[in-house]
Structure 1
């Protein structure tokens, strides 16, 4: 289509119009829709700005070699939709379309970019270990027997059979005290925390205590519900309950079984003090058991929820044990809070996927989940040992802590590897992604402590042993050895 410009004297000056139709009107049918679409897109993107006068239907029809009626219909349709305005005797004009000032598409969230070959950041399991065959078998079994009525809108708390299976699993593995009607199935821990935050905000709370250092996700999720995060320091025994009591908050988000990121397990005294604080002030403790399924050198530490089930909301998910992409999680709490959270979930998403819930219930009840965890625990322990061995070889004097459980460790490097900014810059230059402990402080940026030591939070679960050794060598500035054949552990992980 040609570009045609008209002008007339006066305040309006020169008005220009331009419609780009990439051959859309040369075919037979659909020419009217093509013209409407081209005009509509030109207005939306700003190529035809508000106030631009369009040519008469006769002129545009002649220019495009189409019937005048086709142009008249297009103008009428877009006028009805609000893209154009028409005044008798004055022609057709581009209307002011609000919200179309930026023609670029809205930004979208990029997928998680963690898990590369030299990525030592924490928080990701080995997705190659996902039990595809067993999960598919569970899907086939449930689809064969799921009644038609179950495919309607579900109970926002979750399928009864899954809530019962979760209550039994959590009691057996984590010491959680719960009945099925205290369980809500969620889209991961993130939704569980969002639901709790909304309930607390509705009850009048405006602040919630969080661990320092701690997960930045907690602060972001709380902010989305209207709650301001108040950082409370963590020491060698856990969250400081004295500082918690002094901060004025009546709720707290904690990771007591394997504190993220320090790896500390809350001491019995600290756990008891935290439960007493909640009872004393009528407060709520939100327990994030983010990697509670993985323990290597000791008996599993039971959930805090068992000490004060009337004041603790236990949250967990299948994100570390199976895969985060499943978006399957759960929360267990006092019945009044659970009821309010379920109402929030109903208005939020009308309940979670029925088929995924049914598959997880089958997966739990068949014993496949326990078998999968045993396999992962064996492999992850070997990878933890590979990390310790690589550090002992390439960084003598380094200390590794928080390794009795979980999927990451705290690595404290001697002074000779610092200062921290220089090490991080060198790591980035070598293609190694790693995060310092200071990243997880309430005021991130400054090196962690003033002793000159470099403290890193190193994730190891998603890398095979040879990958861990390679990443550690690169991190510490050592040459990388030639690639070797895959180990038996790696071959098993890829199955």
Structure 2
């Protein structure tokens, strides 16, 4: 039985008396409670409202409720003890009608070598909770009214200053829109593109499948453009007609890990000028570069052609659901018109992030993260070199993942076998749209991998690779 003395059923219980057959009110109430138990709306152990409370809610005498409760107790549905609340018996109801308890979520893998997550252990819990508390205490009363569609003015101002200082962006608070993440940013911009007559959007190949799905859901057609060692191949983009928009991650492409070469950046901006188009620059993990200073955002080179998209999903946590995008002036009105009902994240979260930007906590967190990820990447490379000397690693010393090339070993089989050893790792083929022979490249993340698990994680991965290679020999 549930021991929670503050079960919500004790405060609010919907009883469908009108749906019961005619009869005395206490009998209709008895049947309604019994139906709620049988349907599972009142599970075993639930606390029922006190008789005085329920009588007041129903507008009847207390006797009606106590009589119904007494009859249900006699039938074995309820139990009541002196000085204790009335509860649903653990044996009440039919097993066929009681809903099955939800399955517990699968535990996270012990060795997380998949891409996509930052170090969740390093989330600044104390600073974030303190910032939330201060925001709740100090926020001006108008802040608890309707949200500003573009986001709180203080966050837009502070974030714009941060992007200018740390990313070399050319933005103002009026150019900056707060949203729930880069996926929502792509959605809003894609709606505006469609409203303006754009039909096709170029995306990097390979790339994140969710980006293609987002474009498709907005009614546009994604067109894959291959990536090579210098990033997006702009000559292939030029060869496509009818494209006026492209989504690109110039600082660190996912999943290849390439950095868009300077000449390609200039070519891409020239292409946008020629077609009167727009470039959507994804910038989620651009702060993490380990062999040199991070490259500046391309948006600073051409603010009239580039929308800069960022979020906290790779720097703090995807669970915060805080992102942003900057809008070239030409597209601002169209984006507002195409998204009249979209709202930013909750105001207290916005104000908490504002505080972390203003007091330097966010910058210090990024610096500490760079040191931690660099050391972890170095340790991972050392273990891969020691335990898998025949495998080849590629990808810039940046971001939160790298590529591991296995020669002729089937990557999909390795992923499946590694999962049985409590190791989660990615398969490059899962990020491609073209149907190709089985791939042999893994996407290995290290953002959410515990430092203490690097060696054993690689040992288990190497064992899975060796078994697959042996099976297919």
Using the size of structure 1 for normalisation, the TM-score is 0.72
Alignment of 1:232-381 (within 5 A): 232-248=225-241, 249-349=243-343, 351-381=344-374
Unaligned runs of 5+ in 2: 1-16, 40-63, 65-96, 466-473
Q: Is the 8 A contact 1:384 1:403 kept in 2?
A: no
Task: Give 5+ residue unaligned stretches, structure 1.
Answer: 1-20, 44-65, 67-102, 449-453, 480-495
C-alpha deviations, 1:291-336, integer Å up to 9, x for none? 1121111111111111211111110001111111111000002124
Question: Aligned partners of 1:398 and 1:388: how far apart in 2?
Answer: 11
Task: Indicate if the aligned counterparts of 1:232 and 1:244 stay in contact, CA closer than 8 A.
Answer: yes
User: Contact 1:211/1:233 (CA < 8 Å) preserved in 2?
Assistant: yes
In structure 2, the partner of 1:466 is: 452
Alpha-carbon distance between aligned partners in 2 of 1:163 and 1:314, rounded to the nearest angstrom:
14
Return the match for 2:127 from 116, 127, 134: 134
Q: 1:362 deviation in Å?
A: 1.0
TM-score (norm 2): 0.75
Shift of 1:357: 0.8
Paired with 1:143 and 1:122, the residues of 2 have a C-alpha distance of 35
Shift of 1:421: 4.4
CA apart distance, 1:366: 0.6
- Give how far 1:447 is off: 2.7
The counterpart of 1:441, out of the listed 426, 432, 440, is 432
Over 3 Å counting, the alpha-carbon distance change for 1:148 and 1:396 in structure 2 is same
2:443 — aligned with what? 457
Provide Cα deviations, 1:188-223, integer angstroms capped at 9, x if missing partner.
Answer: 111111101111111112211110011111011111
- State how many pairs are aligned: 387
Aligned-residue offset at 1:146:
1.1
Query: Secondary structure, in 3 states, of the residue corresponding to 1:396?
Result: coil
| Larger Rg over CA atoms | 1
Whole-Å separation in 2 of the counterparts to 1:201 and 1:34: 57
1:161 to 154, 164, 168: 154
Cα drift, residue 34 of structure 1: 6.4
CA contact (8 A) 1:185 1:331 kept: yes
Partner-residue secondary structure (3-state), 1:468: helix
Residue of structure 2 equivalent to 1:124: 117
Structure 1 residue 428, shift from structure 2 partner: 3.6
How far apart, in 1, do the equivalents of 2:368 and 2:27 lie? 61
Contact 1:157-1:342 at 8 Å conserved across structures: no
CA RMSD of aligned residues (A): 3.1
